[in-house]
Amino acid sequence: MKVSERIIEGLLWLSAVITILVTIGIIWVLLSQSIGFFQVVSLTEFLTEKEWTPLFADKKFGIMPLVAGTLLTTFIAIAVALPLGLTIAVYLNEYAPARMRQIVKPLLEILATIPTVVYGFFALTVVTPFLQQFIPGLAGFNALSAGMVMGIMIVPMISSLSEDAISAVPRSLREAAYGMGSTRLQTAFGVMVPAASSGIVVSVILAISRAVGETMIVAIAAGQQPRLTMNPLVPIETITTYIVQVSLGDVPHGSLEYKTIFAAGITLFVFTFALNNISFWIKKKYQEKYD
């Protein structure tokens, strides 16, 4: 083989290997910075303390309020996105005429292309005032409208991944169900959805991972008050919002306050890493084979 061919292959190899360096870089940065944090704050305090006040005079370092805020907004988002997304996927696959599918799908995809800072604006200035008409106790910043808007953002993710999964189920299964006298609804939820279940579960897990890591919507609309609560009507703070909040301030580099964002970051990373790997594992293990 010519030398130039080898050099080119080497360069291409290098570009691919950079992705591994990125992962190593992320883990190294998160670990090296949070080690300093965990030398001062014990892991037990981090996980069991019920308050998170690193920026106040009376410092408490319990991550749970931030985790609770993150899980609350994620839960609301999935509660909106899963029924909507799955229904849309089933409807477009089993009911809608082909022409309608061709028009609706790209329109829904637009929802996924809108920058998240724009969704945050929408949650704060439209959805919250709208909901306040029905829910008197709703604060100006709250988990409810941030979560709902995040759910709308995630709908196309669940609907298109689920639709892919459903349409990958062989026609013969659907025709067999029809042949037995099933209605479209019975075919959809008795045959198609169960057959596509692994793909649908993967889409939901990826959606959860996306919601957990979502930043701008919650930073704008959910508030900046770490609070160990499941009440969706009051201001809370998510892990991501906390990182933004500290980044916007003038916390000196190297201080304990500065290191808290890496401790928060590593918590976030553990969550999303676990979710992504579970989805990858399900995809590999349970992929239905009909050949």
Partner 1 sequence: MTNSDKNRLKDKAFQVFGIFCTLIGLVVLAVFLIDILIKGLGRIDWEFLTSLPSRRAARAGILTAWAGTLWILVLTTIIAFPLGVSAGVYLEEYARKNRLSNFLEINISNLAGVPSIIYGLLGMEIFVRQMGLGGSLLSGALTLSLLILPIIIVTTREAIKAVPGSIRDGSYALGASKWQTVWNQVLPASFGGILTGIILALSRAVGEAAPLIVIGALAYVPFIPSSPLDEFTVLPIQIFNWTSRPQEAFLINAAAAIIMLLFITFLLNGIAVYLRNKQQKKIKW
Query: Which string of x and - marks every residue 241-260 that binds partner 1 (by CB under 8 A)?
Result: --xx--xx----x-------
Q: Residue from 102, 125, 231, 287 that binds partner 1 (CB under 8 A)? A: 125
Site for partner 1 in 55-84 (CB under 8 A): 83-84
Site for partner 1 in 139-168 (CB under 8 A): 152, 155-156
Site for partner 1 in 29-48 (CB under 8 A): 29-30, 33
Q: ∠ at Cα 179 (175, 184), nearest 5°?
A: 65
The footprint of partner 1 on this chain (CB under 8 A) covers a number of residues equal to 85
The amino acid at residue 40 is V
> How far apart are the C-alpha atoms of 177 and 187, rounded to whole Å?
6
Query: Which string of x and - marks every residue 79-98 that binds partner 1 (by CB under 8 A)?
Result: ----xx--xx-xxx--xx--
What are the DSSP E strand ranges found in the chain? none
Q: Give the helix, strand, coil percentages of the chain, each rounded to 5.
A: 75, 0, 25
| Residues in Cβ contact with 239 at an 8 Å cutoff, skipping those fewer than 6 apart | 63, 66, 67, 69, 70, 264, 265, 267, 268
Backbone φ, ψ for residue 61 (5° rounding): -120, 60
Residue 261 · residue 243 · CB < 8 Å: yes
Site for partner 1 in 171-200 (CB under 8 A): 183-186, 188
Environment class of 151 (CB within 10 Å of its CB; exposed 0-12, middle 13-18, buried 19+): buried
Query: Which string of x and - marks every residue 197-236 that binds partner 1 (by CB under 8 A)?
Result: ---------x--xx-xxxxx--xx----------------
For 234, the token pair is: 């009051």
Using only C-alpha atoms, what is the Rg of the chain?
Answer: 23
Nearer to partner 1, 44 or 258 (CB): 258
Give the sign of the dihedral formed by CA 8, CA 12, CA 18, CA 20. negative
Q: Residue from 256, 272, 282, 288 that binds partner 1 (CB under 8 A)? A: 272
CB of 44 to partner 1, least distance (A): 24
Nearer to partner 1, 58 or 253 (CB): 253
CB of 58 to partner 1, least distance (A): 26
Region class of 102: left (phi > 0), else alpha (psi between -120 and 50), else beta: alpha
Of the listed pieces 44-52, 170-178, 225-233, 269-277, which binds partner 1 according to CB under 8 A? 269-277
Nearer to partner 1, 186 or 255 (CB): 186
Q: Under the criterion CB under 8 A, does residue 25 sit at the interface with partner 1?
A: yes
Nearer to partner 1, 77 or 261 (CB): 261
